[in-house]
Amino acid sequence: HRQANVCRCADVQEGPSPMHIFAGMVYNIFILTGRMIKMTSERLKKQIQFVLEVDKLKNIFRMTKIHDGTRRENDAEHSWHLALMAFLLGEYSKEPGIDMLKVMKMCIVHDLVEIDAGDTFCYDTAGSMDKLEREQKAADRIFGILPEDQGRELRELWEEFDAMETPEARFAAAMDRLQ
């Protein structure tokens, strides 16, 4: 029985992450058709800032464990798994013509607010009392990092998922419950 090569937190040296190094490079250069171009785009800076911010989703741990039961799942893993499930299981939707790209986007963004608001366990009655207020405040801040058009799109997807009124939102919510 071989032991897998596992990178543990203690094995990681201090210093900037590859994502932070990449972001620093992108702030200064942009590769387009093989040429280096000075990048001063405020839009790109906001997009990179958002990408770095949502990296924090990896540090929000859910109450549920991963399949083998060895540890708790984080929100990034959960969102990725939902999007993959939606893609693979979309054929089982009862609604004809469902927009699976929209479903996958909802799966990816539905828990981003938990970066600030935390993951409220479904049986946590005390935490549920101010959940909406915490999540609205988090949505304002997190989606506000992006350029206005993209922030609005992601906010609308998040709100649509939460309302569960459209076929896409109901299917995404069904994947969330299944996973």
pLDDT tens-digit profile of 126-157? Answer: 655 677 899 999 999 999 999 999 999 999 99
Instruction: Judge residue 53's burial from the number of C-beta atoms within 10 Å of its C-beta, 0-12 exposed, 13-18 middle, 19 or more buried.
Output: middle
As a whole number of angstroms, the distance between CA 67 and CA 74 comes to 13
pLDDT tens string 115-127: 998 776 555 566 5
pLDDT at 126: 60
pLDDT at 9: 35
Decide if pLDDT at 37 tops 60. no
- Indicate the pTM of the whole model: 0.76
Alpha-helical (H) ranges within 14-145 are 18-28, 42-54, 75-89, 100-109, 114-117, 125-129, 131-143
Q: Chain centroid to CA 165: how far?
A: 21
Query: Which pLDDT band, with edges at 50, 70 and 90, does 62 fall under?
Result: confident
pLDDT at 6: 32
